[in-house]
Structure 1
Amino acid sequence: MTDLSVVEICAGAGGQSLGLHLAGFKHELAVELDPTAAATLAANLQRLQPDDDVDDLVRVGDVADEAVWKPEDFTGKAAVLAGGVPCPPFSVAGRQLGSADERDLFAWAVEAAGRMQPEAVLLENVRGLNDARFAGYRQAVVDRFATLGYTAFWELLEARDFGVPQLRPRMILVALRPEYVDYFAWPEKSAVTRTVSGVLGDLMAANGWSEEYLARWMAKADRIAPTIVGGSKKHGGADLGPTRAKRAWAELWTDGHGLADRAPGEDWKIEDHPRGPKLTVEMVARIQGWLGEEYRWDFEGRKTSRYRQIGNAFPPPVARAVGVSIAQALGKKQKPSTIPAPRRVHDEVYRLLRDRDEALTAERIQQLLGSTMSIEKIIQRIEAIALDFIVEVQSRGGRPTYRLGAWRAFRGQDDHDRHIAFAEARSRAKVS
């Protein structure tokens, strides 16, 4: 299959959707849990794909609910499975619970790819997934994709390298069928770095803000923004992130404590706003990568909802860049000069435990690895692995032994705790 068709899961309001569309992809399906974000997605996909039935194109509900969709139904119908599965299981703000967080859908998405059998897979998540805490998790994802017939690559990309005026590092996974691997390369960085004042200057000046204040703000904001944080319905209204982010915004003479309904006008006084002006939702959208008419996107809902949709999105220019790389690989247009190393080992302790059907002491693990890794470091790695996998600990000669058991992550198991959590959530939603 060489057509550029995509099924997108956990699609949000469509940052990845727009980026993939601009890379040449056409949606066969998009699934999103939040109704307002889904309404945004539906309205825009209707404009981009006017010949399609948007009611069937965008489905609202839990992506793991087979009443919403079944991966097998799209076998042979879409070349790519893409998605931005929930971030809290891997973020510092979400306490990095990994597989213990009922919102973790990364392992499930891998299994969905095995059921759907696309030519390529694109999944993105927060930088926290790159921490040593999740080395075993990343290794399990790569290994499982290999079992399913794919070569998987992990890479940390920063939005600022692709024309987006903020940091926003994201962990990106691309998995490809073997025949496309030699044609894939990560996208090249943009030669131009955009800044906050560079993309927002016209909006800040739109309501007649004084030239003195505008000039001061333009100078202060001539730098990259901190990462936009969308947050969740559980945590307050719309503002520009936690305390550290607000301090970073203060250095740009921008007030991160909330959003404005409009740009500052002639009556704006510094004594009333010593922190500087607040951003509007439209401004935040530009900082997230919705830049110019080419990236036009209309958001449904009230201000806080629109801000969260924007803040939680995959910046469209980054999604576009990765989408182009995948499209070039699927089309086998040209072999790149630099191909990612497909078999990087993320966690050698995990790999050893997985491959050995026996209980091992830390000393034996050290010996088998033939490495200089200390016993203390090996035990630390095992403790981290045990957060996401069952690790059987026994004793042999007074020393603990370790055997790797099942992955704790939700992969579709009928008896997984996630089903209980989501059943309770649905019940609360009906009552409210």
Structure 2
Amino acid sequence: MTSYEVVEICAGAGGQALGLEKAGFNHELAVELDSNACTTLTENRPAWKVIPGDVADPDTWDPRDYKGVSLLAGGVPCPPFTIAGKQLGATDERDLFAWAVGLVGTVKPKALLLENVRGLSMPRFSGYRQHVLDTLASLGYIAEWKLLQASDFEVPQLRPRFVLVALQEEYAPYFYWPTPSQTIVTVGETLRDLMASKGWEGAEEWALKANKVAPTIVGGSKKHGGADLGPTRAKRAWAEIGVDALGVADSAPLSGQRFPVGPKLTCEMVARIQGWSDDYPWTFTGRKTTRYRQIGNAFPPPVAEAVGRSVMRALRKEGVGAERTLASHDAVYLALRAAGGFVSATRLMKAEPKGIEPAELERRISLLKRDFEIEVTEHSSGAQYRLGSFKAFVGQADHIRNDLFAKNKSKIS
């Protein structure tokens, strides 16, 4: 039988890893910055090669050792793109998305799978996404983005994830995104037994109230403190289903306990809501806050398995192939890139079939400037623009990312 190997970068505590394993992939390597998550990975899969450290540091591992692997996968840091943050994108020292895409040129995997937060799908990052697609196309890959909801794969929370899959041209025609399940799983049915495990009499009534899909679990970061189920808006949503979101409990509620809002969740309960279960068994190591952070920042295993199976079918060339074309995410970026020099505002406003108004063009240019160098000159006929270099870290020894990362390493997660 053919073996399908995966190298996983920014592996976290194993959500994506477990899903990909169940999809049929064998882990050649897992690289992860957080030592606690590395301990969890080794605890669950002692045979795996797990390397702690900065995945972009040449001293951590040598990507050339894994050239030709079936799948390169990872959940690179989310803060550069999260809606709740500053959305610094390419200028955030935690941004490794562009670097991971560039890694394809060295590793040359048959397929690439990267997942991130919904914020990356927003107009703010249309130029960034277009650059990623163009880079992969230049390397001989056809790539697609897709916003997936965890609740569509029998995970009892919303958790939208923006997923990038790229395959070599030989395999791309056979890739299809996984079909959502028709079954919606709720918090109540998922946690009923755990809520009753210490004798709490209110578990059944609580489960009836919690007959909903949960808001997205927020893992938090080393920078912003301990275990907590999210900002104010999320806490209100949790309260509506009878969960006190101000922290995480040490144990399930006891017999006779009463709660103004409802009980707090334990780490075990949070893991269930993230998709770990008897079908996806996993053990988390460390103290409560450490365990919670590992669980909360993970890619739900059932979603990872569903996407992994779609990639696996493509690598096996199963089904009927279909033509794949490069999607267009940012017409202004494409017009600037195609020109190779200065382009007039008048020409850029014609980049889309219906045209672009001057104010909208100015807005688009301002967004592109956050991730790219854009040179602007004034002529008698109006402004002209030229696309310059991409600001993101892609391995440059003199990039500002290196100093900022070293300075803030203890707070990066």
242, 248, 254: which is aligned to 1:253? 242
Runs of 4+ residues deviating >6 angstroms:
none
Deviation at residue 2 of structure 1 after TM alignment: 5.7
Structure 1 unmatched ranges of 5 or more: 47-51
8 A Cα contact 1:362 1:379, kept in partner: no
1:28-427 correspondence runs (5 A) = 28-46=28-46, 52=47, 54=48, 57-76=49-68, 78-210=69-201, 213-269=202-258, 273-292=259-278, 294-335=279-320, 342-367=325-350, 369-397=352-380, 399-425=382-408
Q: Deviations over 1:61-101 (max 9, x none)?
A: 0000011112111113x211000000000002221110110
Identity across aligned pairs (percent)? Answer: 56
My pick for the range that moved more, 399-408 or 166-175, is 399-408
Q: Residue type matched to 2:205 in 1?
A: R
| In 2, Cα distance between equivalents of 1:398 and 1:334 | 55
TM-score (norm 2): 0.96
| In 2, Cα distance between equivalents of 1:91 and 1:367 | 31
RMSD: 1.6
Deviation at residue 361 of structure 1 after TM alignment: 2.4
8 A Cα contact 2:89 2:95, kept in partner: yes
Corresponding residue for residue 49 of structure 1: none
SS at match of 1:367: coil
Q: Residue type matched to 1:301 in 2?
A: G
| In 1, Cα distance between equivalents of 2:269 and 2:348 | 53
8 A Cα contact 1:184 1:335, kept in partner: no
Q: Residue type matched to 1:230 in 2?
A: G
Relative to structure 1, is the Cα distance of residues 300 and 98 closer, same or farther in structure 2, using a 3 angstrom cutoff?
same
Q: Deviations over 1:315-374 (max 9, x none)?
A: 0000000000000000112226xx585322000110110110221222121235453222
My pick for the range that moved more, 29-38 or 362-371, is 362-371
Q: Deviations over 1:390-425 (max 9, x none)?
A: 000111116221110000000001110011112334
Q: Residue type matched to 2:272 in 1?
A: R
How many pairs are equivalent?
411
Structure 2 unmatched ranges of 5 or more: none
Q: Residue type matched to 2:45 in 1?
A: L
TM-score (norm 1): 0.92
8 A Cα contact 2:152 2:180, kept in partner: yes
SS at match of 1:394: strand
Q: Deviations over 1:248-292 (max 9, x none)?
A: 0000011000111111111302xxx20111111000000000021
8 A Cα contact 2:350 2:356, kept in partner: no
| In 2, Cα distance between equivalents of 1:182 and 1:398 | 46
Q: Residue type matched to 2:90 in 1?
A: S
| In 1, Cα distance between equivalents of 2:399 and 2:240 | 46
| In 1, Cα distance between equivalents of 2:323 and 2:210 | 36
| In 2, Cα distance between equivalents of 1:259 and 1:109 | 33
| In 1, Cα distance between equivalents of 2:318 and 2:366 | 45
8 A Cα contact 1:4 1:25, kept in partner: yes
Corresponding residue for residue 24 of structure 2: 24
Relative to structure 1, is the Cα distance of residues 93 and 2 closer, same or farther in structure 2, using a 3 angstrom cutoff?
farther
Q: Residue type matched to 1:321 in 2?
A: A
Q: Residue type matched to 1:290 in 2?
A: W
